[in-house]
Chains A and B, each alone.
Chain A
Amino acid sequence: MVRLITHNLLACHAKGCTTNNFPLQIKDAQLALREAEFNPDFLRGFIPRIEWAALVSAARQLGDESLPNEVPEMIDDDFLRGLHHVLLEIHIDEGAMVCPNCGHVYPISSGIPNMLLAEHEIG
């Protein structure tokens, strides 16, 4: 099951695709919402690793407008709960992730993205 937490870490890894290869554009997404355990310590530790603009735009592509444009200076419980939902409770069950640079399509089926490359795309 792919969620925005890993989408936010994933760039295209096709051969020679090294610039403008992040974030992958989410296409034709079918979503499922699944409750996950709220873990504020984890989230606090994870925030510095997030590419915030990419997360905001991915969430919007999925119809979730709840995130602020910038990480707030005061990180309170409300913010963490919203972030928790976006990162960990929205699952992309079907659809695709498309590289903005080379156009490679990574299809998602039953919640699992297919990251396999063809022989000529392997670095």
Chain B
Amino acid sequence: MSRPELIAPPEIYYGDTEAKKYTNNTRIQQIQAEMTYRALELLNLPPDEPAFLLDIGCGSGLSGEILDEEGYLWAGVDIAPSMLEVALEREVEGDLFLHDIGQGFGFRPGSFDGAISISVLQWLLNAETSHPTSSPPHRLNRFFTTLHAALRNPARAVLQFYPTSDDQVQLITQIAQRAGFGGGVVVDYPNSKKARKVFLVLYVGDGGAAQVPRGLENEEPNEAEGRVKFEKRREREKRREKSGKTKVRDRDWILKKKDLYRRRGKEDVPHDSKYTGRKRKAVF
């Protein structure tokens, strides 16, 4: 199958139909969730300091829902109106912007504690018009320069993407470095055709640590490891509950919120049921 970014521009490719299909596909949900958790791990934020994050190419909010659950506040940008509309329907908490990241950001210096981007950067590698501002290097340069400025010092940005060649990885890394970023590429499961994942881990300042983390080495993300990660998350949540800073929404909170939406005349607020506010299953 041909890559989506070669078929049509993103705002066309992710039209109403595809945006829904993409978001409702359980396989996609699972993969994007796994990569989001991994990106958060690589962000290496100081524990127990609530952070304000940027989700670059946030789409329909698959990552955003995880950011909400994990207690982060965030803003998301995406170029596809249909994806953003699905994000609105799913009632993510973050502020959403219709934005072409290749045009650069207008956020003030030091706005964000970190940034993530899941499966987006490959879209910046194709030129759509012959105008000089649409060449991939120009757009990548605008993107990285303004992203660097928008992050605090120290901070990290973790961007998972699907390169087609090592040249692309090199081009992207070079432009990021010229924009002032340190860091580099982390490849998880490098020997697995299916599970291999490329993360660009970028630092402003020292990014909070000196060394680029290592990629995961196993052939595949296996069951046991999934459990280990989940174990860690559960521990974190337990700690949070203990410290009285629980960010896990309880049923009362959700009911209150739904009631609020109904009173505002919002349609399509899901009915309350025994599932409302249930504990979510592990994603692994």
Contact = CB atoms under 8 A, between A and B. Distances in A.
Interface string B172-188: 00000000000000000
A116 B100 contact: yes
Interface residues of B, number: 42
Interface string B102-139: 01111110110000000000000000010101000000
A37 B96 CA distance: 18
Contacts of A85: none
B50 A41 contact: yes
Given A22-B108, A41-B245, A45-B49, A13 B88 contact: no
Contacts of B73: 5, 39, 42, 88
A13 B146 CA distance: 10
A15 to B, nearest CB: 9
Given A11-B106, A41-B49, A122-B133, A115 B260 contact: no
Name A's interface SS: loop
B77 interface: yes
B111 A9 contact: yes
Nearest to A43: B50
A36 B93 contact: yes
B134 to A, nearest CB: 8
A116 B97 CA distance: 9
A113 B98 contact: yes
B233 interface: no
Interface string B31-54: 000000000000000001110100
B108 A42 contact: no
Given A1-B96, A112-B84, A122-B133, A37 B247 contact: yes
Contacts of B81: 112
A110 interface: yes
A113 to B, nearest CB: 5
A49 B110 contact: yes
B277 to A, nearest CB: 14
B95 A5 contact: yes
A35 B256 contact: yes
Given A5-B73, A123-B142, A37 B88 contact: no
A77 interface: no
A35 to B, nearest CB: 6
Interface in A9-64: 9-13, 21-22, 32, 34-37, 39, 41-42, 45-46, 49, 51
Contacts of B86: none
A30 to B, nearest CB: 12
A12 B98 contact: no
A117 interface: yes
Contact of A119 (B48, B133, B264): B133
List the 6 closest A-B pairs by CB distance, nearest first: A13-B106, A42-B50, A9-B111, A115-B99, A122-B133, A6-B95
